[in-house]
Amino acid sequence: MIFGFGKSREEDDDVEEEIEPVSFQGALNGQPANLKENARLVKAGLMPAKNIVTDGLALRAELMRFEPKGERYQVVFYVDGVANPGPKLSKQQGLAVVQVVKLLSGLNIQERKRPQSGGILAELEGVSYQLRVSTAPAEGGERLSIKAINVKYPLDRADDIGITEENKERIREMSKGRHGLILISGPPSSGTTTTTFGVVRSVDAYQYTIFALAEPEHRELSHIATLDKKAGDTFDDELRRIIRMEADIIYLNPVTDEEYVRSILNVADEISMIAEISAKDSVSGLIKFCKLAGSVEKGVGALRCVIGHKLIRTLCDQCKEAFRPNPKLIEKMGLPKSTKMLYRPPRQTVDEEGNEIEPCEKCDGLGYYGRTLMMEIIEMTDEMKQLIISGAEPGKIKAFAKKEGMPTFQKDGIRLVAEGKVSLDELQKVFKSP
């Protein structure tokens, strides 16, 4: 490997398997990169960029960040949501790498004071990727983020991200009747768009006519229609055109401002809608939407439910270790009484003869592989609406949802532990995180 990450272990630890560097195959927007005109930049930054991206993909990093830190650039690889330090580059080399990636992404390399976004088609060891690139000005340079998407596993179905059959059925019920908004709430970079798309795909597209106004990016819009854009059409015009086509559900762009929400309120009694909003959790998203609506009454009147989500690391199915839990622990955690075994990452590092055990090849010894979804759903029942309108605190709203049997993070997390997919330690970490 290039910087010592993600190496393939041989019997001799000093021997590392060489990996052919990633192949960049053009910008997602089709903009050709003029490498000849930027020969000096390419010479300084192309191979370091290839090597770093190669290491990131070999690590299964879903996100790679390049951060200017004083006289250096720090690279960070995020694997299943956990930050792993990558190489440190000199400021000059870091800037060259950022500019090369921008060039290959079809972005304007002269523009350094405004955010930009684009992407690169890439391939590593026969696996195709989309590298979604975004830049933003930062002190001492530009911040660069690369989101890596395995084209073969795009996470575009409800099952892919872990939406349960029970929650899919709830979503289907709340999408019926051509009225109200299903709102998915989550903080930036938390997977809210992926969760939202999973919610859309939970609806039976054979039974209902679904239109998408939101940009699907790399995701497959199977049996979901898109609207032919007309010059001069406003958002209100697009909504009306879709309603006239007797559609059942619209997948909207993210909720951002008062004008956008006003348009949603105008048609809330005529069609079902699904959209995301950037907020800390479900209650924060609910409060934010009501503020944008101009009043709590208008906000809750337009909503069918608000869905919150958290991603949690799943145990590696190749090396997870079973153990028999204390009955008191089972009772304390609210696990089913029938639970006989729980699972955790492997703890044993040496065998009976004292020899070091080779780390699991699948997870590279991490004990975790991939993530799954936990959901909470606050349904806008008549009683819930009255509670919210009365000015109840967030804690009371969540407590009432739990009392009414609505899905909660705690219930979903305990299910995952009982099924052997998640460790208790990981569940506790997720609940402690903000």
407/292 same-domain check: yes
143/167 same-domain check: no
Hey, which of 140-154, 155-169, 275-289 has the most confident mean pLDDT? 275-289
Q: What percent of the chain shows pLDDT beyond 70?
A: 96
- Which CATH number fits the domain that encloses residue 40? 3.30.450.90
168/139 same-domain check: no
For 149-162, the pLDDT digits (tens) are: 998 887 777 788 89
190/230 same-domain check: yes
47/77 same-domain check: yes
Q: How many separate domains does the chain show?
A: 2
pLDDT band at 319 (very low <50, low <70, confident <90, very high): very high
Looking at 150, 179, 214, the residue that finishes a domain is 150
Q: Are 33 and 103 in contact (CB under 8 A)?
A: yes
pLDDT at 183: 98
Q: What is the mean pLDDT of the chain?
A: 91
Range of the domain at 118: 23-150
Residue 30 lies inside a defined structural domain of this protein = yes
Residue 345 lies inside a defined structural domain of this protein = no
- Which CATH number fits the domain that encloses residue 211? 3.40.50.300
For 163-194, the pLDDT digits (tens) are: 999 999 999 999 999 999 999 999 988 889 99
Is residue 386 pLDDT above 90, yes or no?
Answer: yes
pLDDT at 16: 53
Is residue 257 pLDDT above 80, yes or no?
Answer: yes
State how far Cα 11 lies from the chain centre: 37
Is residue 13 pLDDT above 80, yes or no?
Answer: no
pLDDT band at 337 (very low <50, low <70, confident <90, very high): confident
Phi, psi (deg, nearest 5) at residue 172: -60, -40
pLDDT band at 17 (very low <50, low <70, confident <90, very high): low
54/144 same-domain check: yes
Looking at 131, 150, 169, the residue that finishes a domain is 150
124/182 same-domain check: no
Looking at 133, 150, 167, the residue that finishes a domain is 150
Sheet holding 72-79: strands in order across?
A: 23-27, 116-124, 127-138, 141-150, 63-69, 72-79, 82-90
Q: Enter the pTM of the model.
A: 0.87
Mean pLDDT, rounded, for 193-215: 92
Pairing label, strands 272-278, 181-186: parallel
